[in-house]
Amino acid sequence: MTSRVACQIDVGRGLAEGARHVPSPNQDARPPGASIDLIVVHGIGLPPGEFGGPWVEALFLNRLPWEQHPFFKSIEGLKVSAHVFVRRDGSMLQFVPFHARAWHAGASSWRSRTACNDFSIGIELEGADEVPYEPGQYAALAALVAGLRRAYPTLAPDAIAGHSDVAPGRKTDPGPAFDWARLGRELEALGRA
């Protein structure tokens, strides 16, 4: 556990301090009156299981070279994004301001509300379902979640779910490798700081 300080959020701009800001075209306005009620945690690697390359950023910017890999070809034309991408080293890229709608959850439901993108913040961790996530990723995620809860009081402490929880049967990320108890401990430690 490295970070003991919540991430600062600029609510006016909807941006997280310390993240590199890389605006994605894959965003639009949340529905009128929608509040931010949920955080959705994802895992992604491009190609699946490979880390460290430029491809996730390229995907969220609609610049993935579809011809370069059979997996890329299999998702050709896909237009997706997340608010924040946390790399293996814990560094963060922000693609969509928090007040806007990122395109991360797809067909989904949470507590009988559908279309989770309307009311959620999507955070992608660079990873794979069966590969342990890095300590720096838990630290960065906990700091970000703590900062978001402070900045957006509509985010209740239990309003955090995996993509697999809001799209069961369709999505498996962040996978069994994601240690929810560890995230909880790190958030508790931040709360005591």
Q: Tokens for 89? A: 């080293």
Q: Is 173 in the site for Zn ion (CB under 5 A)?
A: yes
CA end-to-end span of the chain, whole Å? 13
Q: Is 83 in the site for Zn ion (CB under 5 A)?
A: no
Q: How far is the CB of 42 from Zn ion (least distance, A)?
A: 3
Residue 124 annotated among the catalytic residues of the structure: yes
Task: Determine the size of the site formed for Zn ion (CB under 5 A).
Answer: 3
Question: For residue 75, with 0-12 CB atoms within 10 Å meaning exposed, 13-18 middle and 19 or more buried, which class applies?
Answer: middle
Q: Is 42 in the site for Zn ion (CB under 5 A)?
A: yes
Q: How far is the CB of 125 from Zn ion (least distance, A)?
A: 10
Nearest to 45 by CA among 26, 69, 10: 69
- Cα dihedral 87, 91, 94, 98 in deg (nearest 10): 100
- Which is catalytic among the residues 57, 124, 126, 186? 124
Q: Round to whole Å and give the CA distance between 15 and 8.
A: 9
* Of the candidate residues 163, 186, 187, 190, the single one contacting Zn ion (CB under 5 A): 163
Query: Quick one: which segment of 20-28, 29-37, 163-171, 180-188 binds Zn ion (CB under 5 A)?
Result: 163-171
Query: Quick one: which segment of 53-61, 108-116, 141-149, 171-179 binds Zn ion (CB under 5 A)?
Result: 171-179
Residues whose CB falls within 8 Å of the CB of residue 112, separated by 6 or more in sequence, listed in order = none
Judged by the rule CB under 5 A, the positions of this chain that interact with Zn ion are 42, 163, 173
Active centre residues (catalytic): 124
